[in-house]
Amino acid sequence: ELKVEQNPLFLSMQEGKNYTIYCNYSTTSDRLYWYRQDPGKSLESLFVLLSNGAVKQEGRLMASLDTKARLSTLHITAAVHDLSATYFCAVDRGDDKIIFGKGTRLHILP
Amino acid sequence: GAGVSQSPSNKVTEKGKDVELRCDPISGHTALYWYRQSLGQGLEFLIYFQGNSAPDKSGLPSDRFSAERTGGSVSTLTIQRTQQEDSAVYLCASSLGLAGASGGEQFFGPGTRLTVL
């Protein structure tokens, strides 16, 4: 059974700092997704990572995938308050279903 | 283009009543998913439709929950004899499936917030 673990589950950080959110998963997969959710809102797709070594960047966020280590990272560079949200990683099971992590609540202090 | 839409956005009902939640996926998306999200929690998979195949109902928590998808498009999630523990946000998502160019990326609707009194 595929399990997806994110850490940390809660992160409070200062503006301008860098930090990384980790997503580990338990069985082989080469498709991983990152989503953002603002309070009271739905999920917004951030990144789709489809192969080992994939790296995607959008603004201050960069995501990478290491399928051999079963690990994805979401790196935040020089955080700004607008990035405060909950970030979910989700891993494809191979049958068109994806399993979500519990989410990382990111709070960036101005 | 139009995204995934859901209705109603909010639903308050009394314990024991039946409710129907509707989802309109993105046109052309063959895969449709229902999830449940309790306050401050992650997403719980409920059911998955792909084209004309039989739906994957493995995530439905009890036989009070059912869903259908008519004409490969609109889907309705029905909860019978609602209980207080059914209170949550119900999210619908659609995708082109693994065969699509977006690699199975799911696009989410705004959700229906269900409150059972």
- pLDDT tens digits for range A49-90: 988 888 999 999 999 999 999 999 999 999 999 999 999 999
What's the pLDDT score for residue B100? 60
Q: Which of A45, A97, A102 has its CB closest to that of B42?
A: A102
Task: Tell me the one-letter amino acid at A92.
Answer: D
What's the pLDDT score for residue B99? 62
- Disruptive mutation site among B60, B102, B105, B115 for chain A (greatest number of A CBs within 10 Å): B105
pLDDT band at B1, cuts 50/70/90?
A: low
Closest Cα in chain A to B100: A96
Provide the pairing of β-strand B19-24 with B75-79: antiparallel
A86, B79, B104, A77: CA torsion to nearest 10: 0
- DSSP code of residue B81: S
- Joined together, the tokens standing for residue B41 give 């929690």
What's the pLDDT score for residue B112? 97
pLDDT band at B69, cuts 50/70/90?
A: very high
Q: Is B51 an 8 Å CB contact of chain A?
A: no
Does the structure show a pLDDT above 90 at B98? no
User: Does B42 sit within 8 Å of A101, measured CB to CB?
Assistant: yes
Taking all residues of chain B, what is their mean pLDDT, rounded to a whole number? Answer: 91
User: Does B109 sit within 8 Å of A92, measured CB to CB?
Assistant: no
**Mean pLDDT of the B47-75 span:** 91
Q: Which of A98, A101, A103 has its CB closest to that of B106?
A: A98
User: Could you write out the three-class secondary structure of A17-30?
Assistant: CCEEEEEEECCCCC
What's the pLDDT score for residue A22? 98
- Comparing B110 with B40, which gets the higher pLDDT? B110
- Disruptive mutation site among B7, B108, B112 for chain A (greatest number of A CBs within 10 Å): B108
- DSSP code of residue B16: T
- Burial category of B74 from C-beta neighbours within 10 Å (exposed 0-12, middle 13-18, buried 19 and up): middle
What's the pLDDT score for residue B102? 63
